Amino acid sequence: MALIAQYFIPFISYPYTGETIDCDLCGCPDHKVICRHDRRFKKLQTVACLQCGLMRTNPMPTKAEIEEYYSNVYRLDYGLTLSRPSKRHLNRSHDQAKSRMELLRPVLKPGARVLDFGCGAGVFLHHAKTAGYETLGIEPGSQFASFARDELGVEVINDIWEQVELPHNFDVITAVEVLEHLRHPVLAMRWLADALANDGILYVTVPNMLPSKKETFRRFHFAHLYQFTPTTLTWVAAAAGLEPDPRFEPNGTRIVFRKTEKGPCLPDFNLNYGEGMCEQYAHASVSQYLLSGRWLRSMGSRLTKSIRDTIR
């Protein structure tokens, strides 16, 4: 219990040791610190690769430490219940599923095979199945996988992706807010690209980490091991043999990819991208933020949104 509490107490470090790793995308060991805290005001160091700019948590939690976190802390940390998805979560998932279907439907043939990687409670799969598509989900969380199967009637593999062998014939794969949670996003992208039919598409969204007005530390979270900009996401995809599909206009870090003819290969990195990016993240002081009272306004708007999404 004391260990779990350490994940939530502000200003102290997370209860993990981690390991120093090279960049998952380009293999470069050199990096620069972007931020030393996260949105809980806890100590958490995020660095950017000096070559390609891909951001990661440093030190990186080990595989065992990640498993420990997801087994005991993750759902609590995200304000989700351990037993079943909250009404707020389901309402938000329905909205997101609807817009995802609207975007993808024009290019889907009847009976298309749809995989949702990190399907959570299975809401998107339910929408896709109702629309007549053949569906499959992958979800490591057992409670959410059970909900998807038992209450929404969709087929879900309840396992971590490294243990799952997929056929190579999916017409569309979606991965919504998943890649940032994985220790090896490049390998995961290759695994997804392999599972696509030749003319299949991969719909990906991750948080867009281009510099913004928001205080830098408020954009980081222990569960997010990697951070992407539209450029680094596209480079990770290229390393997996994917390129943006011209039929879909990219929207920040929401991008629909298709397979390239040449297959997986490292892109021509703009070698100044990583270093240039580091300069753009302004240092924001946690104590000044707390003293300014700005956190009250942010807390208020989060609470309002949460209530609205629960009771509608």
Min CB(234)–Zn ion separation in Å = 14
Q: Which two structure tokens, joined as six digits, stand for 289?
A: 């933020």
Tokens 């017409």 correspond to 171
Instruction: Please say which residue, 127 or 190, places its beta carbon nearer to Zn ion.
Output: 190
Q: Is 233 in the site for Zn ion (CB under 5 A)?
A: no
Least Å distance, CB 45 to Zn ion, is: 17
Cβ(227)–Cβ(46) below 8 Å: yes
Counting contacts by CB under 5 A, is residue 25 touching Zn ion?
yes
Residue in 116, 115, 127 with CA at minimum distance from that of residue 153: 127
Shortest separation between residue 48's beta carbon and Zn ion, angstroms: 8
Structure tokens at 20: 């120093």
Residue 176 sits in the site that holds Zn ion (CB under 5 A): no
Contact present, 8 and 16 (Cβ < 8 Å): no
Residues in binding contact with Zn ion, number by CB under 5 A: 8
Strands (E), 161-268: 170-176, 196-205, 226-227, 242-244, 254-259
Candidates 16, 23, 147, 152; binder of Zn ion (CB under 5 A) is 23
* Listed residue (166, 98, 178, 83) closest to 131, CA to CA: 98
Considering only residues 115 through 154, tell me which ones interact with Zn ion, judged by CB under 5 A.
Answer: none
Distance between CA atoms of residues 169 and 86, nearest Å: 33
Q: Which stretch binds Zn ion (CB under 5 A): 25-33, 90-98, 117-125, 247-255?
A: 25-33
Task: Give the pair of three-digit tokens for residue 202.
Answer: 């991969």
Under rule CB under 5 A, residue 103 binds Zn ion: no
Using CB under 5 A as the criterion, what x/- string covers residues 30-59 for binding Zn ion?
-------------------x-xx-x-----
Helix, strand, coil % in the chain, rounded to nearest 5: 40, 20, 40
State the alpha helices, DSSP H only, in 176-240.
185-195, 230-239
Distances (CA, A) of 169 to 8, 83, 134, 195, 302: 42, 34, 12, 6, 41
Shortest CB 273 distance to Zn ion, Å: 9
Q: Which stretch binds Zn ion (CB under 5 A): 21-29, 91-99, 166-174, 211-219?
A: 21-29
Q: Which of 4, 28, 164, 271 binds Zn ion (CB under 5 A)?
A: 28
* 277 scored as a contact of Zn ion (CB under 5 A): no
The least distance separating Zn ion from the CB of residue 54, rounded to whole angstroms, comes to 5
Considering the complex, what minimum distance in angstroms separates the CB of residue 52 from Zn ion? 3
In the list 7, 26, 66, 104, the residue contacting Zn ion (rule: CB under 5 A) is 26
Minimal distance in Å, beta carbon 51 to Zn ion?
5
Q: What does the binding site for Zn ion look like in residue numbers (CB under 5 A)?
A: 23, 25-26, 28, 49, 51-52, 54
